Amino acid sequence: MPLGVTAVVVLAAGAGTRMRSSLPKVMHPLAGRPLLWHALTTARGVQPEHLVAVIGHGREAVGAYLAATLPDVDTAIQDQQLGTGHAVDCALAVLGPLTGTIVVTYGDVPLLRPETLVALATEHTDRGNAVTVLTARVVDPTGYGRIVRDAAGEVIGIVEHKDADHAQRAITEINSGVYAFDAAVLADGLSRITAANAQGERYLTDIVGIARGDGRRVGALVADDATETEGVNDRVQLAAMAHALNARLVRTAQLGGATILDPQTTWLHADVVIAADATIHRNTSLEGGTTVAGGAVVGPDSTLVDCRVGADATVLRTHAEGAVIGERATIGPFSYLRPGTVVGPGAKVGAYVEVKKSTLGPGAKVPHLSYVGDATIGAQVNFGAGSITANYDGVHKYDTVIGDGAFIGTNTTLIAPVTVAPGGFTAAGSAITDDVAAGDLAVARGRQTAVAGWVGRKLPTSVMAAAAALAGTPEDHVTGTAPAAGSVPTTPEQPGTSSTRPGKALPA
């Protein structure tokens, strides 16, 4: 059923002085989005034909944000904050003459749910009201406008705290500042309100009394949950609302089938999507547009920003931004994935590994202590411990390409641009400057030489000399470990026979 809401006006021109911030209040983030985004997202819930934000303080920043992120939102400029009535005037000047229902809400009330705004609009239409106010019952109404009702319980007006008498200040039903108005009643009321009050402002709230005085139907909807109607005025409230909103987001994910073991320490941004049967462990932040597929396990102690985690992947103690993690992939512990990282299905990024703008093919492994930047790594590649891509010469970045099934020996430095063809092999400790052909072994390291008895001669009083003496006479060690030429094995590696490992000895 259409709600008949022609426009939602979101008031966001105030200074937000108590935030003590150079950032406009409505731009402060909550769950990864500015306060104003939350207000506008809720406003969309009543499917208005027009959505207009009234901006003033910090309007360059707020206007630029809206133009870039929510271009369908109209903006009205309120140069001076002359009151909530004046602010709505500014919005109507942009919108032009309207009929139907106009909803007014605030840009700094981020917990208001679309369902509540829909209930307000529905109540307004069903009752044929001229004005319907969203109210709340609170323990401490100090500072709020009070809802004044007659003996029959009908709303007859709203009186601001500063204008209220003693008896009115005892009223605990407050005005949330969210309303549904008949457009004609709103326009007429705005033309009649004055600034003859304690604050010298044009109060939007006065329209309630004006409509009632004209004999029109004025109603109220009492919010089920007063916290929904609370505004942010300082950073203490901002943090409290962050907790409240997070609890809501966690609960929604849980009810959707995600296992979230520690809601207190799991932080979710508003746009995050967690599939059923995903598991999130403690101390984990999922931010931006992160998505987690079913069966995936994320955390503990992980932060993922704008990442996609595939089904059955594992992400442990990891910081990742802009990464795509394939299904069954395993990440961490202590991995750092930077933007442009694509980890293929079943691939592994292990401890103390940083990956930037690189693709790992299916089943590829970068298990320990590596940097992979600007690289394309094929399927089933083993990228040995401590190996890195040297992708930067101080001015330019260069690419590294490693073909399927290649083996990058421990502590290989791949000096980009360089290519290792499929099945290529680099010897441990090599600095690879030239392309490696398919199936070749590339060895690029100095030969080991032994200087017999050096320790005993040069450091005769040292621990090393004493240990060497205990181990045997220097004459026992004169040959060192360099193998004779021609000792490169021709048989496959045998377990436990390290002397026969391919690449251990230098080829002749």
Which amino acids are annotated catalytic?
A: 368
Q: Which stretch binds ligand UD1 (CB under 6 A): 63-71, 74-82, 395-403, 493-501?
A: 74-82
Write the CB contacts of 186 (distance below 8 Å, at least 6 apart in sequence): 88, 92, 102, 207
Site of tokens 């680099």? 426
The entry of Ca ion, ligand UD1, none near residue 177 (CB within 5 to 8 angstroms by kind) is: ligand UD1
Between residues 160 and 312, which has the closer beta carbon with respect to Ca ion?
Answer: 160
Between residues 14 and 345, which has the closer beta carbon with respect to ligand UD1?
Answer: 14
The residue from 34, 58, 107, 403 that contacts ligand UD1 (CB under 6 A) is 107
| Tokens standing for residue 424 | 């290529």
Q: Which stretch binds ligand UD1 (CB under 6 A): 104-112, 181-189, 351-359, 366-374?
A: 104-112
Angstrom distance (rounded) from CA 22 to CA 17: 10
Other residues' Cβ atoms within 10 Å of the Cβ of residue 172: 14
The residue from 203, 336, 383, 425 that contacts ligand UD1 (CB under 6 A) is 203
Q: For residue 507, give the DSSP letter.
A: P
The residue from 53, 54, 136, 223 that contacts ligand UD1 (CB under 6 A) is 54
Cis amide leading into 71 (omega within 30): no
Angstrom distance (rounded) from CA 311 to CA 324: 12
Q: Mask: binding to ligand UD1, 4-33, rule CB under 6 A, as x and -?
A: -------xxxx-------------------
Report the length, in residues, of the chain: 508
Q: Which stretch binds Ca ion (CB under 5 A): 120-128, 198-206, 231-239, 315-323?
A: 231-239
Q: Mask: binding to Ca ion, 105-144, rule CB under 5 A, as x and -?
A: ----------------------------------------
The residue from 24, 45, 48, 83 that contacts ligand UD1 (CB under 6 A) is 83
Pinpoint the alpha helices (H) of 161-279: 166-169, 183-190, 206-213, 235-255
The residue from 33, 50, 59, 86 that contacts ligand UD1 (CB under 6 A) is 86
Q: What angle do CA 479, 484, 489 make, to 5 degrees?
A: 130
Site of tokens 């259409």? 2
Q: For residue 395, give the DSSP letter.
A: S
Q: How far is CA 198 from CA 160, 171, 195, 202, 476, in A?
A: 9, 19, 9, 11, 101
Angstrom distance (rounded) from CA 386 to CA 431: 12
Residue type at position 223: A
Task: Please work out the total of residues on this chain that contact ligand UD1, with binding judged by CB under 6 A.
Answer: 27
Angstrom distance (rounded) from CA 486 to CA 357: 42
The residue from 52, 148, 158, 298 that contacts ligand UD1 (CB under 6 A) is 158
Between residues 58 and 384, which has the closer beta carbon with respect to ligand UD1?
Answer: 58
Q: Mask: binding to ligand UD1, 217-236, rule CB under 6 A, as x and -?
A: --------------x-----
Do residues 304 and 291 lie in contact, with contact meaning Cβ atoms separated by under 8 Å? no
Residue 197 CB, nearest distance to Ca ion (Å)? Answer: 16
Residue 142 CB, nearest distance to ligand UD1 (Å)? Answer: 11
Interaction between residue 40 and ligand UD1 (CB under 6 A): no
Q: Which residues pair with 285 in a beta bridge?
A: 267, 303
Q: Which stretch binds ligand UD1 (CB under 6 A): 168-176, 184-192, 335-343, 369-377?
A: 168-176
Q: Which residues pair with 308 in a beta bridge?
A: 291, 324
Q: Which of residues 358-417 bind Ca ion (CB under 5 A)?
A: none
CA 10 to chain CA mean position, Å: 25
**Which residues of the shown chain bind ligand UD1 in the complex (CB under 6 A)?**
11-14, 54, 78, 81-84, 86-87, 106-108, 144-145, 158, 160, 174-177, 203-205, 231
**Binding footprint of Ca ion on the chain (CB under 5 A):** 231
